[in-house]
């Protein structure tokens, strides 16, 4: 049997990382198993529909590298692939009526006022449990009322006794008491199917074999399965994914900020890094490798290794991973990312100098927007505390640093070529002649030139970019600050 998975998003805005993970796992299952991946747009909830959101779905899947074999834009043998277009064909009402004929569904004419009267407070939540009031209406009478234009919905007829069981790939066999199964609405009063009903009908008609979704749908699955059984259809394999939480182990909310794919990309995270990171939210390969290309993910992905435990969305780990991607990136591509940040911070340099700065920061930056703070000292020497000159490992203090800077200053004044290689060779020779350790000299020199303890490059590279005049000015200021 050929595996067929589907991603069936509702066009309600940007793609949250939870939805991205669902889309990715379904795509990885299909690609790993040599199956088909289908995109279906579920837009039957008109109240939540957001203009332009369908384009966001296409854009996100493309940016993430997830192609689909069938869908609204590429076609296929099981279209249309947009639910609102399928509604127009009357397909959902047709199947709902088949359930009515089987006694598995019924027309409901209850008013909102009556439904409100059925609400109960259970564990602090207001819940409406329908009492099957309209099930007792004679079918002929129900049809007469429908034909007369009376508003109605169609409800699933679930039993109140016994249990319903199903098997999930991750959670094993799950049984639910039928008394917990509400008679959910299949067709709403506006003629549109509910998400739950359309989902089942479309999954069957499109031959979906594996359904991947969040574990919040576990409680609804018995109702889905009763629909499959009522129609005599084969039930797909279910893979219910664990919750994604924040660092405080609370459900990751869309309102928390930066939780959509496009939010993360706009904040400097590489699309391939986000995909890699999201793949590890609840799954790990057998070799526990963390940095993987999309093709490696396809090769390694075994959905049986998905964890049942909640996955923590760790921004620090995502940031680290992004840095690893940036380090490994082709220098020309990195420069394309870094160029605007560098040029806005350091106007007036040559193209060669800009590329040198890019090469300096590539191995140190985790997000592109960190670049300005990292290189701003080139533009102007920041205010700094002379305590920076004290370094236990380098065996430097303020007095020794003042002495070193005073000694090396006339030597540097006599140099004409401040290019990195020549100035490095000259300073190294001077250090050897003096019998000093490299760090004993280069640490205070770098502090005087940059005014900070960490820089994206060494002292001689700073000398090259600053040039002779600015470099000597900063060293003289360092001597002055140290009491020289």
Which residues are identified as catalytic?
254
* Residues present in the chain in total: 484
Which region holds residue 62: left if phi is over 0, alpha if psi is between -120 and 50, else beta?
Answer: alpha
275 neighbors 64 (Cβ within 8 angstroms): yes
Torsion angles phi and psi, residue 107, rounded to 5: -75, 140
| Angstrom distances, CA of residue 390 to CA of 59, 401, 436 | 52, 8, 16
In whole angstroms, give the CA distance from residue 204 to residue 433.
82
In whole angstroms, give the CA distance from residue 19 to residue 21.
5
Torsion angles phi and psi, residue 168, rounded to 5: -110, 140
In whole angstroms, give the CA distance from residue 220 to residue 325.
40
Which helix (H) or strand (E) segment holds residue 220: the answer is: none
Of 275, 297, 295, 271, give the one whose Cα is nearest residue 286. Answer: 297
The dihedral built from the CA positions of residue 419, 421, 422 and 424, taken in this order, carries a sign that is positive
User: What are the structure tokens assigned to 183, written together?
Assistant: 């008679």
Tell me whether strands 311-312 and 244-245 are parallel, antiparallel or unpaired. Answer: parallel
In whole angstroms, give the CA distance from residue 63 to residue 20.
12
Half-sphere exposure of 348 (CA within 13 A, CB side): 5
In whole angstroms, give the CA distance from residue 233 to residue 229.
6
């Amino acid at each position: 049997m050929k595996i067929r998975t589907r991603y069936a998003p509702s066009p309600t805005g940007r793609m949250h990382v939870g939805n991205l993970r669902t889309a990715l796992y379904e795509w990885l299952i299909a690609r790993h198993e040599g199956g088909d991946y289908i995109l279906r747009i579920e837009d039957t909830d008109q109240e939540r529909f957001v203009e332009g959101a369908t384009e966001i779905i296409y854009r996100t899947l493309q940016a993430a590298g997830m192609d689909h074999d069938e869908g609204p834009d590429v076609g296929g043998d099981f279209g249309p692939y947009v639910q609102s277009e399928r509604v127009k064909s009357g397909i959902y009402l047709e199947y709902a009526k088949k359930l009515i004929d089987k006694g598995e569904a019924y027309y409901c004419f209850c008013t909102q006022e009556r439904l409100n009267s059925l609400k109960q407070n259970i564990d602090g939540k207001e819940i409406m449990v329908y009492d099957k009031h309209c099930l007792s209406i004679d079918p002929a009478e129900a049809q007469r009322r429908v034909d007369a234009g009376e508003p109605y919905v169609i409800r699933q007829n679930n039993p109140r006794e016994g249990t319903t069981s199903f098997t999930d790939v991750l959670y094993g066999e799950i049984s639910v008491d039928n008394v917990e199964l509400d008679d959910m609405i299949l067709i709403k009063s506006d003629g549109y199917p509910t998400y739950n009903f359309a989902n089942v009908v479309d999954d069957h008609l499109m031959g979906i074999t594996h359904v991947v979704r969040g574990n919040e749908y576990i409680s609804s699955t018995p109702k889905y399965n009763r629909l499959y059984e009522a129609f005599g259809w084969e039930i797909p394999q279910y893979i219910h994914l664990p919750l994604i939480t924040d660092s405080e182990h609370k459900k990751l909310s869309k309102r928390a900020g930066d939780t959509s794919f496009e939010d993360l990309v706009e904040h400097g995270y590489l699309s391939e890094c986000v995909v890699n990171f999201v793949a590890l939210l609840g799954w790990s390969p057998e070799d526990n490798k963390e940095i993987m290309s999309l093709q490696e993910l396809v090769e390694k992905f075994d959905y049986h290794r998905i964890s049942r435990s909640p996955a923590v969305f760790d921004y620090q780990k995502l940031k680290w991973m992004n840095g690893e991607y940036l380090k490994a990136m082709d220098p020309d591509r990195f420069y394309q990312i870094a160029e605007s940040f560098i040029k806005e911070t350091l106007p007036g340099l040559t193209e060669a100098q800009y590329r040198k700065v890019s090469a300096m920061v590539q191995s140190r930056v985790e997000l592109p927007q960190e670049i300005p703070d990292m290189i701003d000292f080139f533009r102007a020497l920041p205010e700094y505390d002379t305590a920076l000159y004290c370094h236990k490992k380098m065996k430097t203090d303020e007095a020794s640093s003042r002495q070193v800077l005073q000694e090396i200053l006339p030597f540097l004044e006599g140099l004409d070529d401040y290019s990195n290689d020549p100035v490095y060779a000259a300073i190294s020779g001077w250090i050897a002649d003096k019998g000093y350790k490299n760090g004993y000299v280069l640490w205070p020199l770098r502090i005087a030139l940059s005014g900070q303890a960490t820089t994206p490059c060494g002292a001689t590279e700073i000398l090259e970019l600053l040039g002779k005049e600015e470099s000597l000015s900063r060293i003289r200021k360092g001597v002055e600050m140290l009491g020289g």
